[in-house]
């Protein structure tokens, strides 16, 4: 066995934000809170609990303030909020978010579709948020995401040099945490290994997160490629919920319970209670009003054996 597989893999659960943002059925505030509290009990150390964007843009998450103010905060869990600008950051700070996540696309076209501005304007806005956080009374960490880092549905392949340049710009601004996002599931394992290796030359593994979608069925393969290249932190969504509302064809995130199950089968520690996770995932169809894509919640774990049929016993 590869001894590197003994190193922990950290899962950041993003279903409460990235997972629910495109759901057509309104999920009640109390149900969002119960979902986050249930995730907190599963052993996660990082949960993206909501966002502070315009309710006109993402109406499904318009109750972010109420959610953050009512969740049961477990010791050792970092509750993350997505923020688009200073106004959103101010709301997130007032709601006691532990970490703010900023997003800019490597693709100019996707950034205009997603953020309604150029990449240059997004970076200028990031600087305003950095200054706000530096002057905040409480200590809050910052993370910045490079969306469409592995490909754009409008522009195609993204120059890796551009991605590395954006990462360096984030770090120079004082943003420690970096996420590379495969926003529409266009990455492949070789590409992932190459780009992760380059970025880890500038960013410590503890500060780097990979965000994969399973749009074309390569999500978990890309996780292993990134893990083998030295990455240790990954986003995932319970039940495989999610997708980008501003990227055609962007289906769900990699599924949390499928990822944790794979890690358990391979001996990679995650610190997450898979049985609790599966039980929570099985509540999702009633919550969102449709079946979800996760496989392990349907099939069970390998160790969940079945009774021997009577006709076999008779042989």
Instruction: Say yes or no to pLDDT of 127 above 70.
Output: yes
State residue 93's pLDDT score: 97
The DSSP call for residue 16 is I
Distance CA 107, CA 248 (A): 14
Strand partners, 80: 48, 99
Nearest CA to 288 out of 252, 247, 254, 256 is that of 252
Is there a contact between 156 and 107 (Cβ–Cβ < 8 Å)? no
pLDDT, average across residues 129-156: 94
For residue range 270-298, what is the model confidence (pLDDT) as tens digits?
A: 999 999 999 999 999 999 999 999 999 99
For residue range 187-209, what is the model confidence (pLDDT) as tens digits?
A: 999 999 999 999 999 999 999 99
For residue range 208-263, what is the model confidence (pLDDT) as tens digits?
A: 999 999 999 999 999 999 999 999 999 999 999 997 666 666 678 999 999 999 99
| Set 244, 255, 263, 303: catalytic member | 244
CB atoms within 10 A of CB 151: 20
Distance CA 60, CA 76 (A): 28
pLDDT, average across residues 138-167: 96
Residue 252 φ then ψ, to 5°: -65, 165
Is there a contact between 7 and 232 (Cβ–Cβ < 8 Å)? yes
Supply the pTM of this predicted model. Answer: 0.94
CB atoms within 10 A of CB 46: 21
Strands (E), the chain: 10-13, 46-51, 78-82, 99-105, 141-147, 177-181, 208-211, 233-236
State residue 1's pLDDT score: 42
State residue 245's pLDDT score: 63
Q: What is the dihedral of CA 283, 287, 288, 292, to 10 degrees?
A: 0
Distance CA 8, CA 238 (A): 19
3-state secondary structure of 82: strand
- C-alpha distances (whole Å) from 299 to each of 21, 77, 183, 282, 296 are 27, 29, 27, 11, 5
Structure tokens at 187: 């990455």
Q: Which long-range contacts (CB under 8 A, 24 or more apart) does 24-31 make?
A: 24/289, 25/288, 25/289, 25/290, 26/60, 27/60, 27/287, 27/288, 29/63, 29/66, 29/67, 29/70, 31/287
**Domain membership of residue 277 as a residue range:** 3-313
For residue range 89-116, what is the model confidence (pLDDT) as tens digits?
A: 999 999 999 999 999 999 999 999 888 8
Task: Give the count of domains, the chain.
Answer: 1
Distance CA 110, CA 147 (A): 9
State residue 244's pLDDT score: 65
Instruction: Say yes or no to pLDDT of 34 above 80.
Output: yes
3-state secondary structure of 213: strand
**152 has catalytic annotation:** no
Can you give the CATH number for the domain in which 146 is found?
3.20.20.70
Distance CA 25, CA 286 (A): 11
State residue 147's pLDDT score: 96
Q: At what angle do helices 274-281 and 29-40 cross, to 10 degrees?
A: 160
Residue 181 φ then ψ, to 5°: -115, 130
- H/E stretch holding 8: none
Torsion over CA: 229, 7, 143, 257 (sign): positive
């Amino acid at each position: 066995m590869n001894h590197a597989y003994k190193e922990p893999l950290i899962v950041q659960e993003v279903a409460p934000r990235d997972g629910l943002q495109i759901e057509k059925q309104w999920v009640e505030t109390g149900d969002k809170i119960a979902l986050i509290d249930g995730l907190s009990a599963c052993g996660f150390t990082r949960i993206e609990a909501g966002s502070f964007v315009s309710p006109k843009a993402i109406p499904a998450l318009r109750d972010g303030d109420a959610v953050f103010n009512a969740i049961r905060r477990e010791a050792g869990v970092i509750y993350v909020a997505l923020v688009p600008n200073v106004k959103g950051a101010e709301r997130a700070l007032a709601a006691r978010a532990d970490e703010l996540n900023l997003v800019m696309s490597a693709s100019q076209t996707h950034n205009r579709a997603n953020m309604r501005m150029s990449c240059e304007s997004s970076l200028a806005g990031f600087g305003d948020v950095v200054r706000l956080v530096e002057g905040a009374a409480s200590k809050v960490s910052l993370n910045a995401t490079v969306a469409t880092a592995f490909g754009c549905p409008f522009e195609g392949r993204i120059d890796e040099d551009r991605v590395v340049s954006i990462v360096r710009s984030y770090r120079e601004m004082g943003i420690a945490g970096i996420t590379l996002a495969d926003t529409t599931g266009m990455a492949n394992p070789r590409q992932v290994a190459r780009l992760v290796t380059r970025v880890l030359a500038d960013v410590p593994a503890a500060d780097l997160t990979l965000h994969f979608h399973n749009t074309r069925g390569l999500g978990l393969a890309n996780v292993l490629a990134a893990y083998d290249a030295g990455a240790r932190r990954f986003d995932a969504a319970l039940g495989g919920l999610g997708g980008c509302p501003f990227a055609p064809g962007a289906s769900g995130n990699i599924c949390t319970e499928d990822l944790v199950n794979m890690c358990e089968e391979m001996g990679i520690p995650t610190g997450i209670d898979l049985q609790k996770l599966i039980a929570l995932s099985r509540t999702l169809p009633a919550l969102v009003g449709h079946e979800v894509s996760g496989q392990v919640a349907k099939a069970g774990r390998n160790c969940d054996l079945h009774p021997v049929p009577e006709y076999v016993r008779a042989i």
